[in-house]
Amino acid sequence: MAISLDQAKTMINVTRAKGREMGLKPLSVVVLDAGGHVLAFEREDGAAPGRFGIAQGKAYGAVMLGMSGSAQMARAEQQAFFMAAVNGVYGGQVVPVPGGVLVRDATGAVIGALGVTGDTSDNDAIAGKAGVEAAGLQAEI
Amino acid sequence: MAISLDQAKTMINVTRAKGREMGLKPLSVVVLDAGGHVLAFEREDGAAPGRFGIAQGKAYGAVMLGMSGSAQMARAEQQAFFMAAVNGVYGGQVVPVPGGVLVRDATGAVIGALGVTGDTSDNDAIAGKAGVEAAGLQAEI
Amino acid sequence: MAISLDQAKTMINVTRAKGREMGLKPLSVVVLDAGGHVLAFEREDGAAPGRFGIAQGKAYGAVMLGMSGSAQMARAEQQAFFMAAVNGVYGGQVVPVPGGVLVRDATGAVIGALGVTGDTSDNDAIAGKAGVEAAGLQAEI
Amino acid sequence: MAISLDQAKTMINVTRAKGREMGLKPLSVVVLDAGGHVLAFEREDGAAPGRFGIAQGKAYGAVMLGMSGSAQMARAEQQAFFMAAVNGVYGGQVVPVPGGVLVRDATGAVIGALGVTGDTSDNDAIAGKAGVEAAGLQAEI
């Protein structure tokens, strides 16, 4: 199963709505497919111009390693050189902190990832989880 | 004046609607701000996974050089080595063909660009022009 | 609102004058626009040849993340792997220390950044703040 | 002999004044030292954001190869693959067209280069020549 554009847009809309409900700073939200390629992205007014790369980096590491942002951060805290090496392999595109949310279908297969940035990493992840679940999919933060 | 996220989404929605009306293949559409940074993107179901980079490349050259996709293509046809050199300067991110649409405000200032890919370059540009104009802005294809 | 070239030159002139007044080593000063692109730069006689990149790197991270040099340094000290990852995303262009000064207009919007290098990071930031304020803008160091 | 910052600023000021006198589009002007490193830069209001890289690229090739922009263009027209290979060696930083002006001292030694972009390549070069000569140095376009 692949994430449709309609599902990706639902994820982004609901992530943004959750951010507003929680009173978060302006968010930037990306959805990547199962190959780590961009399906959809939105940057809210007032967010810094470089936020696309951060959102993408959170989601990219999740898809490419099959590890959520929290799991990647745990590994970075244990073994910083490992995540640095991973970044060498992936061209510097991995941002290993919460806000990178793995997206799974009903069978548990990873079908993509959502990346959120703008507030604290933990708040980014909470908003992103709401977005993924609103599309009827499973979120692993 | 800056392009708002609402304007960027209108541009993408109307570009996609125009593509369906014209019977085009699945489109991918990006909107960049005045600094060449991504504001919003959508890739339609059925489009190839690498379309984000092509859409971005069409729009990026337009913003960074202040030249539309058609103007870039004319220069590339006259002096291929010049556009190749430009691409070296910009990290290989420039795709100098139609579908890179300059976005100007009422004063004529460049405030960003829209990039469209999926069908022929000329059809991509026609669809993109409709999108930019629907947001009340001027399109230079 | 965009930073004009005249404002950028005022920022650089006054930053340099402040440096002389404080007895600092030769300074190099860059002004970037709201998209992180270079507006103006000067390297004082006697400064090392590689100073453009350091000045640019201080200002670039400020614009792209919407965080001053001091804020970036605090984050780097807390979570070194995060700022290393950010640098991967931004092509190694970020130098996360004081001397990267966010420039805001009267509404508080980030409209660019000034980067200073040559003396200690803290002295660089003090000189840069004087420059930004001389142009009638708000400095966040 | 090295180009001083005062000389670099004179070159930029006079290049810009010549551009206005000739009725050219907004110019961006860089001065590089004998090692190809940036001394000073100004981008006029209304110029596209990516102009720093083009100006730098014109001047960089001039210094690094000891060939003016016109000489580089002649070589590119004869042997495009050679200039492409040069760009591989120099990290894609060379833009081999007029507007890259070699700067020589009274003994004929290359002490840097000036790069101009914004109008036609030939007009860029004419304006740049005026700037270099105003600083009491020899220009080779």
| Contact across the interface for C45 and D9, Cβ inside 8 Å | no
Of D33, D41, D50, the CB nearest to C40: D41
Is chain D in touch with chain C: ≥3 Cβ pairs within 8 A?
A: yes
The whole-number pLDDT of residue D131 equals 98
| Contact across the interface for B4 and A41, Cβ inside 8 Å | no
H or E segment to which residue A116 belongs: strand A110-117
The whole-number pLDDT of residue A48 equals 97
Query: What residues have CB less than 8 Å from A100, skipping those under 6 apart?
Result: A57, A58, A59, A60, A61, A62, A68, A69, A72, A113, A114, A115
Q: Nearest CA to A48 among C62, B7, D43, C28?
A: C62
The helix/strand/coil state of C117 is strand
| Contact across the interface for C64 and A49, Cβ inside 8 Å | yes
| Contact across the interface for B40 and A35, Cβ inside 8 Å | no
The whole-number pLDDT of residue D1 equals 86
| DSSP symbols for C21-81 | HHTPPP-EEEEE-TTS-EEEEEE-TTS-TTHHHHHHHHHHHHHHHT--HHHHHHHHHH-HH
**Residue B120 Cα, gap to closest chain A Cα (Å):** 21
pLDDT, tens digit (0-9, with 9 covering 90-100), for A55-87: 999 999 999 999 999 999 999 999 999 999 999
Sheet (strand B38-43) strand order: A138-140, A100-104, A110-117, A28-32, A38-43, B38-43, B28-32, B110-117, B100-104, B138-140
Q: Read off the tokens for C12.
A: 């650089």
The whole-number pLDDT of residue B1 equals 85
Structural domain range at position A90: 5-140
| Contact across the interface for C110 and A53, Cβ inside 8 Å | no
Mutate to test the interface with A, among B43, B51, B64, B117 (most CBs of A within 10 A): B43
Number of residues in chain D: 141
H or E segment to which residue D86 belongs: helix D80-89
Which residues of chain C neighbour A97 with C-beta distances below 8 Å? 79, 82, 85
SS3 track for chain B:
CCCCHHHHHHHHHHHHHHHHHCCCCCCEEEEECCCCCEEEEEECCCCCCCHHHHHHHHHHHHHHHCCCHHHHHHHHHHCHHHHHHHHHHCCCCCCCCCCEEEEECCCCCEEEEEEEECCCHHHHHHHHHHHHHHCCCEEEC
Amino acid letter at C73?
Answer: M
Distance of CA A95 to the CA centre of its chain: 10
CATH number of the domain encompassing residue A79: 3.30.450.150
Which residues of chain B neighbour C33 with C-beta distances below 8 Å? 35
Mutate to test the interface with A, among C72, C81, C102 (most CBs of A within 10 A): C81
**Over chain B, what is the mean pLDDT?**
97
Distance of CA C63 to the CA centre of its chain: 9
Strand C110-117 and strand C28-32: pairing?
Answer: antiparallel
> A with B: how many residue pairs have Cβ under 8 Å apart?
41
CA closest to D58 among chain B residues:
B85
Which residues of chain B neighbour A49 with C-beta distances below 8 Å? 33, 35, 37
**Residue A116 Cα, gap to closest chain B Cα (Å):** 14
pLDDT, tens digit (0-9, with 9 covering 90-100), for B13-51: 999 999 999 999 999 999 999 999 999 999 999 999 999
> Structural domain tally of chain C?
1
Which residues of chain A neighbour C67 with C-beta distances below 8 Å? 48
Q: Is the pLDDT of residue A1 over 90?
A: no
| Contact across the interface for B38 and A41, Cβ inside 8 Å | yes
Residues in chain C whose Cβ is within 8 Å of chain D: 4-5, 8-9, 33, 35, 37-45, 49-50, 52
Q: Nearest CA to C13 among C97, C139, C132?
A: C132
CA closest to C37 among chain B residues:
B35
**Over chain C, what is the mean pLDDT?**
97
The helix/strand/coil state of D19 is helix
DSSP category for residue C113: E
Which residues of chain C neighbour B35 with C-beta distances below 8 Å? 33-37
Q: Which residues of chain D have pLDDT under 70?
A: none
Residue C102 to residues C43, C137, C139, C141, Cα–Cα distance (Å): 20, 10, 6, 6
| Contact across the interface for D52 and C35, Cβ inside 8 Å | no
Which residues of chain C neighbour B37 with C-beta distances below 8 Å? 35-36
**Residue B18 Cα, gap to closest chain C Cα (Å):** 30
Name the packing angle between helices D5-22 and D121-134 (round to 10°): 130
The whole-number pLDDT of residue D92 equals 95
Mean pLDDT along residues A83-97:
95
Cα–Cα distance for residue pair A47/B100, rounded to 1 Å: 24
With a pLDDT cut of 70, the percent of chain C lying above it is 100
Which residues of chain D neighbour B110 with C-beta distances below 8 Å? 48
Confidence of residue C1 (pLDDT cuts 50, 70, 90): confident
Asked if B88 and D94 count as a contact pair (C-beta separation under 8 A), the reply is: yes
